[in-house]
Amino acid sequence: LKTGTTSVAVALTVLGAGLTVNQTEVSARVTTRSQAQDAAGLKEKADEYEVRNHELEHNNEKLKTENSDLKTENSKLTSEKEELTQKNRELTKEKEELSKQKETLGLALDKTIDEKIKSDNDHKKEIGDLSNVNKTLKQALDKTIEEKIKSDNDHKKEIGELKGSNKISEASRQGLRRDLNASREAKKQLEAEHQKLEEQNKISEASRQGLRRDLDASREAKKQVEKDLANLTAELDKVKEEKQISDASRQGLRRDLDASREAKKQVEKALEEANSKLAALEKLNKELEESKKLTEKEKAELQAKLEAEAKALKEQLAKQA
List domains and CATH numbers for the chain. Answer: 2-320 (1.10.287)
Contacts of 96 (CB under 8 A, 6+ apart): none
pLDDT reported for residue 288: 62
148/64 Cα distance (integer angstroms):
119
* Per-residue pLDDT tens listing for the chain (321 residues): 334 444 444 444 434 444 443 444 444 454 556 666 667 777 787 788 788 888 888 888 888 888 888 888 888 888 888 888 888 888 888 878 877 877 777 777 777 777 767 776 776 676 677 667 667 766 766 777 677 667 666 666 665 665 555 555 566 567 667 766 776 776 677 677 767 777 776 776 776 676 677 667 767 766 776 777 777 778 777 777 777 776 776 677 677 677 767 777 776 776 677 677 667 766 766 666 665 555 566 666 766 776 777 677 667 766 665
pLDDT reported for residue 6: 41
pLDDT reported for residue 131: 66
* CA 288 centroid distance within chain: 71
136/134 Cα distance (integer angstroms):
5
pLDDT reported for residue 188: 76
The CA–CA distances, whole Å, from 70 to 59, 62, 74, 77, 185 equal 16, 12, 6, 10, 103
pLDDT reported for residue 23: 45
SS3 sequence of 250-313 = HHHHHHHHHHHHHHHHHHHHHHHHHHHHHHHHHHHHHHHHHCCCCCHHHHHHHHHHHHHHHHHH
pLDDT reported for residue 169: 54
**C-beta separation of 85 from 243 below 8 A:** yes
pTM of the model: 0.33
85/64 Cα distance (integer angstroms):
31
Tell me how many degrees the CA angle 254-259-260 measures, rounded to the nearest 5: 95
199/192 Cα distance (integer angstroms):
11
4/306 Cα distance (integer angstroms):
7
